[in-house]
Amino acid sequence: MAGPDKTPYYVTTPIYYVNDVPHVGHAYTTLACDVLARFKRLDGFDVKFLTGTDEHGQKNEKAARDAGMEPQAFVDKVSENFRHLAKAMNYSNDDFIRTTEARHKRACQAIWKRLVENDQIYLGTYAGWYAVRDEAYYGEEELRDGPDGKKLAPSGAEAEWVEEPSYFFKLSEWQDRLLDFYEANPDFILPETRRNEMASFVKSGLRDLSVSRTTFKWGVPVPDDPGHVMYVWIDALTNYITAAGYPDVESYEFTRYWPANLHMVGKDILRFHTIYWPAFLMGAGIAPPKRVFGHGWLLNRGEKMSKSIGNVLRAEDLVARYGLDQVRYYLLREVPFGADGYISHETMVGRINSDLANDFGNLAQRVLSMIAKNCEGAVPQPGPLAPADEALLGQARGLIRRLREAYDSQSFHRALEATWEVVGAANRYVDEQAPWALRKSDPARMAAVLYVLAETVRHLAIMTQPVMPEAMAKMLDQLAVPADRRDFAALDSQLLPGTPLPKPQGVFPRYVEETGEA
Ligand code: MSP
């Protein structure tokens, strides 16, 4: 729903390495972006939400060879895993970029040329300890000794001494300009603790960065020197401007969506996004993004999930077991966004049964079945508002302001906490007003109470759509809210008394342990 009258909002995920099996860690980053994208769309923004896959580099070249395939055929195949994940998790991305696409090659070569013109790139020799598995060079001091006299990177990957001609980006010249940029844009790096880490890293001094390779072929050729391919970060990071139409900087797409509002990344790649990327962009005369948020890791049994450790949880498996919206809710509610956090079966079941089934599900179910039984299955008639009614409706109506604030600082858990405060207040209101006891004594007041509750549930359901789109659609169906009255502008309207309602149905089933104990 693009439109010049709407404010643009461009949000991106990292592009994922295709040679990895997608797991819940990858799903987590994209989920956060999806929820933001959905929230902003409902709030009237013109959203562009980008995700995709990172497909060049030596690792893929090698993996393709091992599989007896051409690199392109190999990445075509494995990048499908990430499209599958996007479907399984119900992501609403507007574009899916692959770094092996022609549009991306064009953008990479264009930014490279600009960097050369601006005297930011020169030819030199690279010598250093290189770990193929990490696609990274390491300083001698970072390595430890492994078996058989081998050198190991901090990740445990084997590092080897490599010397080759290489183009370099003059990162060492960017120290002061980066620090000035952070100073002038205090929200550029979030959370704040990570901003301080990045600033001290820059203060400790920056070395020029090797940005090309001659030892492998699977990459974007360097313009005018095709013996070199671009080394992974210049290629990978450029995806964000490729998808905004670069190098056509005059285009509608580029002028509208660049600079991006938010690059969401895991803390493992924050350095590349907050040091290299703004330096590349400023070096090429392009504005840096407005914000980079570095979130924490999801830990399974205390360790970051990875294929090599073998502790990978697949998002598809969690969804099959617990339900899609349940998993979406849990991941953003359980771990304060930004910090590292544990996920487990026990806490998942706790959230499903208490927050979803008991608190929110029961609230909706109780209200809708009382209406079905006692109000002829139609939206009841409101009455004059008692102080308790005003208090509850005030809380429900005030929620949107709190959510905007929470989402604008990527505080997903706070957004959900604030929402569940209203759920809790509504449940207390049901108990205090005891509409079932008013049925005989004061049917008009019973109807008024049920109207206030139905309105509250409508508010909650509309505002929870970004996190649980399918479940909330069902809830809004049961309140007979028309499809075009489900955005945040519609919060100002009200349920129309007398509107017939469908037969109520529970939206959040309890999770019963497979053993049957539960
Ligand atoms: N291809 C690069 C990124 C290039 S962006 C221009 C890359 N890919 S990756 O597939 O290894 O990881 C991408 C992201 O996945 C991480 O930054 C992080 O956001 C997410 N996660 C991977 N494992 C994770 C966890 N265990 N927990 C949370 N997020 C994790 O790096």
What dihedral angle (degrees, nearest 10) is formed by the CA atoms of 340, 345, 349, 352? 50
Instruction: For residue 24, report the distance from its CA to the centre of ligand 1, in Å.
Output: 11
Give the three-class secondary structure for 168.
strand
Ligand 1 — pocket residues by CB below 6 A? 14-17, 20, 25-26, 28-29, 54, 236-237, 239, 265-266, 268-269, 297-298, 304-305
β-pair partners for 295 = 266
The Cα 371–Cα 448 span in angstroms is 11
Atom of ligand 1 nearest to the CA of 20: 10
β-pair partners for 299 = 304, 342
Give the three-class secondary structure for 341.
strand
Instruction: Strands of 185-334 (E only): list them.
Output: 189-190, 209-210, 212-213, 229-230, 262-266, 292-295, 298-300, 303-304
Instruction: For residue 357, report the distance from its CA to the centre of ligand 1, in Å.
Output: 32
Residue type, 228: H
Give percent above pLDDT 90 in the chain: 88
pLDDT in tens, 82-139: 999 999 999 999 999 999 999 999 999 999 999 999 999 999 998 889 888 877 778 8
Atom of ligand 1 nearest to the CA of 54: 1
Q: Among 53, 111, 268, 281, which residue has the most ligand 1 atoms within 8 Å of its CB, making it the best to mutate?
A: 268
Backbone φ and ψ of 247, nearest 5°: -85, 10
Helix/strand/coil percentages in the chain, nearest 5:
50, 15, 30
Residue type, 246: Y
Instruction: For residue 376, report the distance from its CA to the centre of ligand 1, in Å.
Output: 53
For residues 217-226, average pLDDT: 96
The Cα 368–Cα 504 span in angstroms is 6
Q: Whose CA is nearest to atom 29 of ligand 1?
A: 25
Q: How many residues does the chain have?
A: 518
Instruction: For residue 10, report the distance from its CA to the centre of ligand 1, in Å.
Output: 19
- Angle, CA of 449, 454 and 455, to the nearest 5°: 100
Rg from Cα positions in the chain? 26
Give the pLDDT band (50/70/90) at residue 41: very high
For residues 323-328, average pLDDT: 98
More reliable by pLDDT, 384 or 518? 384
CB 433 within 8 A of CB 388: yes
Instruction: For residue 45, report the distance from its CA to the centre of ligand 1, in Å.
Output: 27
